[in-house]
Amino acid sequence: MGLTMTKEGSASLNESRISKENNESSYLTSVFKDNDINFSMSVQINEAEYKMNPHNYSKYVEILQLLATFGSTHSASKLGYINLRGLNATLEPDYASSAAYYLIALKFIKMTPNTKWDTGLILEVVEGLTEVYRFHSNLQRDLLIWDHGIKMMKFVDSVLEDSLFLKDSDLREFRQIKAIRIHIAYCLALTAEAESKNTGDYRKTVDLYRECEQMGNCGLTAADKLVKKAHTKFRLLGSRVPRVQPICTTCNFKASDLKAIWGLLVCPKCQTVACCSRACLKKHLNLH
């Protein structure tokens, strides 16, 4: 993990490694009584990675869960990834738990002053949550988790959109910020698409996919794939959106629902106006 520890920290870590299994739980609890909570968490993250090496996966997960309880964004993100992918034969994928841990990570991020945000870590969380939304979640079935995630991502996006936040970022951080915003934009479009399947109105969905596409590539593979996917979605769903005003150009009848909108007849000559009936269309064509 690239951790630099004092001699006391190294000794404490070595002692924990040679202790018996039944003493490990008390060690994990007592370490958080130290004054330096950040240092203690760093030691524990190192301990978790140590457990991973000899494939002591259950203990690895146990330590991460404890760290997440004490507010470690990194550990919550790790648990989100583990539940998304699974961990060998020890832990099967659990997509609901994955989403829950990613949301916990976003909660910790929201509680952190944005001047101290780690954009790389935020990108990991948003990437994972995007994958859950795209392939393993359903808006109607998982409405509470889905809506909560969208609210949290909107908050993150509103902060990252601030020009003052972008002002002091270097190129690497700038690309990460853009990638985060692409993922969030795609999730918003995905949400609108799921809602459109019930209403039949795809106008908002098409607009959101277009916004995602117009963000452009950032040089990070996962985000750039979403930009390309948004372009495809925009083209495919665009045909479902009426391209003229839902008002009869002859008698000014205004379509009030989706069924009436699709019942309008678009002028085959100018293709810029619609008529409510063949009689009105005939009168309009005489003007041409």
Quick one: average pLDDT of 144-164?
Answer: 91
The residue behind tokens 């299994």 is 21
pLDDT cut 90: percent of the chain above it: 52
Say if residue 28's pLDDT is above 50.
no
Q: Is residue 153 part of a domain?
A: yes
Q: Which pLDDT band holds residue 26 (cuts at 50, 70, 90)?
A: very low
- Same domain? For 237 and 251 the reply is no
- d(CA 8, CA 234) in angstroms, rounded, equals 58
Domain range for 269 is: 245-288
Q: What does pLDDT average to over the chain?
A: 82
* Long-range pairs, 23-29, Cβ under 8 A, ≥24: 24/59, 28/62, 28/63, 28/66, 29/66
Identity of the residue numbered 129: L
- Same domain? For 223 and 287 the reply is no
Query: For position 47, what pLDDT does the model report?
Result: 60
Q: Is residue 183 part of a domain?
A: yes
Query: For position 165, what pLDDT does the model report?
Result: 66
Identity of the residue numbered 205: T
- Same domain? For 237 and 273 the reply is no
| Residue scoring higher pLDDT (258 or 133) | 133
Q: Report the candidate in 41, 42, 68, 191 with the shortest Cα–Cα distance to residue 125.
A: 68
Which pTM does this prediction carry? 0.72
Q: Which pLDDT band holds residue 33 (cuts at 50, 70, 90)?
A: very low
Q: Is 97 exposed, middle or buried (0-12, 13-18, 19+ CB in 10 A)?
A: middle
Q: Is residue 85 part of a domain?
A: no
Say if residue 138's pLDDT is above 70.
yes
Q: Which pLDDT band holds residue 22 (cuts at 50, 70, 90)?
A: very low
Say if residue 169's pLDDT is above 80.
no
- Same domain? For 142 and 187 the reply is yes
- Same domain? For 151 and 229 the reply is yes
Number of folded domains in the chain? 2
Q: Is residue 25 part of a domain?
A: no
Chain segment 192-227, per-residue pLDDT in tens: 999 988 877 788 999 999 999 999 999 999 999 999
| Residue scoring higher pLDDT (240 or 71) | 71
Say if residue 52's pLDDT is above 80.
no
Decide if 140 contacts 185 (C-beta within 8 A).
no
Q: Is residue 29 part of a domain?
A: no
- d(CA 248, CA 260) in angstroms, rounded, equals 11
Q: How many CB atoms lie within 10 A of CB 26?
A: 10
- Same domain? For 235 and 250 the reply is no
- Same domain? For 222 and 260 the reply is no
Chain segment 225-280, per-residue pLDDT in tens: 999 999 999 989 887 776 677 889 999 998 877 778 878 888 888 878 889 999 99
- d(CA 133, CA 182) in angstroms, rounded, equals 14
Query: For position 191, what pLDDT does the model report?
Result: 96
- Same domain? For 206 and 232 the reply is yes
DSSP state of 265: E
Q: Is residue 100 part of a domain?
A: no
- Same domain? For 257 and 288 the reply is yes
Q: Which pLDDT band holds residue 41 (cuts at 50, 70, 90)?
A: low
- Same domain? For 158 and 275 the reply is no
pLDDT cut 70: percent of the chain above it: 78
Quick one: average pLDDT of 94-115?
Answer: 95
- Same domain? For 237 and 249 the reply is no
Quick one: average pLDDT of 1-17?
Answer: 43
> Phi and psi at residue 248, in whole multiples of 5°?
-65, 125
Helix spans in the chain (H): 7-18, 21-30, 37-52, 57-69, 73-85, 95-111, 119-135, 143-160, 163-167, 171-199, 203-214, 221-238, 258-262, 278-287
- Same domain? For 178 and 256 the reply is no
Q: Is residue 279 part of a domain?
A: yes
Say if residue 32's pLDDT is above 80.
no
Q: Is residue 273 part of a domain?
A: yes
Which residues touch 285 (CB under 8 Å, ≥6 apart)?
Answer: 267, 269
- d(CA 131, CA 250) in angstroms, rounded, equals 49
